[in-house]
Amino acid sequence: MHKILVTGGAGYIGSHTVLELMNSDYEVVIVDNFSNSNPKSIDGIERIVGRRPVLIEADCSDYTQMLELFKKHNDIEGIVHFAALKAVGESVEKPLSYYKNNTLSIINLLSLLREFGGKHFVFSSSCMVYGQPDILPVTELTPLKPALSPYGNTKKIGEDIIKDAVLANTNISAIALRYFNPIGAHPSTEIGELPLGKPDNLVPFITQTAAGIRPKLQIFGDDYDSSDGTAIRDYFHVMDLAKAHVLALDRLFKGSNKSNFEVFNVGAGKGVTVLEIVKAFERVSGVKLNYEIVGRRAGDPDKVWADTSLAESELGWKVKSTLEDALLTAWNWEKKVRGI
């Protein structure tokens, strides 16, 4: 079994990926500082898989703490790096915290991976690196635009750091997965997305509104160039995203990668409007959602969706779940968390 360090493995996407890795015979060590998560997610993973991953509470941006971790687990062969701060608005207010946390973590992890002889690195990148693309759908060759926030910039800079580092050291190979909009939860409702405070993202806001935690969903803008005037994104099931990480690691371990640094779009490959999400949610949940249309949210692109043909041909990855499946699991998770 290959030992993999999963940073941010207690978080939303990390926890779903950990269980897929454990089910695929990878041995997982999680490191998380719980800045945006809770150790309870590890209990949920254990209930699903029947085994508990090793969990270390530490900060990836602290070199000394990471060195201790690598000394203890000096047989780590690869890293799946989720740990990052991710709130776009907060990154505008606290840019230095974002640059420090998100870029230092990458530098520490790559340095120690090299020092301790590990070879594989999978990075959580984001469709944010494309900004508002001129041509849709977006392919991996679509030119990147200046980032619209410090958070988005940490993803662009992160990719650059990794690319330069692996090109200078051919023993490490990396894959950056550019996620579009992951939603939903594990069907068991043992793990899911648990935003602290008021959610920024659409689907947790919808489920919290349906659960009565929020009085009303505000839809940001109905004057976009789309069938109903609301903005378009590419939503897909978090369990499909989790599987993409397993395939990316498998590819690196098999040596099937075509270069030391590869990038793949990961999304459903389909643009869906905000109102279409609302209607689909109402259909699967049977709950009528209270919403109002308000002005646009600053910095929001009009429309972004992925061309995922590269992930399909190279990784053998494609979404399997429908939007309805994903929304239903998000709703079932919300009901479980709220005791509904």
SS3 294: strand
SS3 162: helix
Q: Residue 34 has which token pair?
A: 């719980």
- Selection from ligand WQD, ligand NAD, none that 35 binds (CB < 5 to 8 A by kind) is ligand NAD
C-alpha distance from residue 189 to each of 197, 230, 337, 338 (Å): 20, 30, 9, 12
- Would you count residue 228 as binding ligand WQD (CB under 6 A)? no
Q: In angstroms, what is the minimal distance from the CB of 305 to ligand WQD?
A: 10
| 151 catalytic residue (yes or no) | yes
CA torsion sign, 96 to 100 to 106 to 110? Answer: positive
Which of 130, 151, 179, 224 is labelled catalytic?
A: 151
DSSP-derived letter for residue 130 is: G
Region of 212 on the Ramachandran plot (φ > 0 left; ψ -120 to 50 alpha; else beta)? left
Backbone angles phi, psi at 328, to 5 degrees: -65, -40
- Would you count residue 244 as binding ligand WQD (CB under 6 A)? no
- Would you count residue 90 as binding ligand WQD (CB under 6 A)? no
Q: In angstroms, what is the minimal distance from the CB of 177 to ligand NAD?
A: 8
Task: Report which of 107, 135, 136, 109 is spatially closest to residue 120, judged by C-alpha positions.
Answer: 109
Q: At what angle do helices 274-285 and 323-338 cross, to 10 degrees?
A: 60
Nearer to ligand WQD, 37 or 181 (CB): 181
- Selection from ligand WQD, ligand NAD, none that 300 binds (CB < 5 to 8 A by kind) is ligand WQD
Q: Residue 42 has which token pair?
A: 């590890």
Q: In angstroms, what is the minimal distance from the CB of 170 to ligand NAD?
A: 26
Q: In angstroms, what is the minimal distance from the CB of 105 to ligand NAD?
A: 5
* Among 297, 318, 335, 336, contact with ligand WQD (rule: CB under 6 A): 297
- Would you count residue 302 as binding ligand WQD (CB under 6 A)? no
Q: Residue 330 has which token pair?
A: 């998000």
What does the per-residue mask of binding to ligand WQD show for 132-171, with x meaning CB under 6 A? ----------------------------------------
Number of Cβ atoms within 10 Å of the Cβ of 65: 16
- Would you count residue 84 as binding ligand WQD (CB under 6 A)? no
Binders in 182-201 for ligand WQD, by CB under 6 A: 200-201
Q: Give the residue at shortest CB distance from ligand NAD.
A: 11
Alpha helices, H only, the chain: 12-23, 40-49, 63-72, 88-93, 95-115, 150-168, 202-210, 238-254, 274-285, 309-310, 323-338
Nearer to ligand WQD, 53 or 131 (CB): 131
SS3 89: helix
- Would you count residue 321 as binding ligand WQD (CB under 6 A)? no
Nearer to ligand WQD, 24 or 218 (CB): 218
Q: Residue 178 has which token pair?
A: 């550019």
* Among 24, 111, 189, 218, contact with ligand WQD (rule: CB under 6 A): 218
Q: Which residues lie near ligand NAD (CB under 6 A)?
A: 7-8, 10-14, 31-37, 59-61, 82-86, 101, 105, 124, 126, 179, 181-182
User: Going by C-beta distance under 8 Å and a sequence separation of 6 or more, which residues neighbour residue 327?
Assistant: 183, 184, 203, 277, 280, 281, 284, 285
Report the interface residues with ligand WQD, using CB under 6 A.
86, 88, 126, 128, 181, 200-202, 205, 217-220, 231, 233, 274, 297, 300
- Give me the active site residues, please: 151
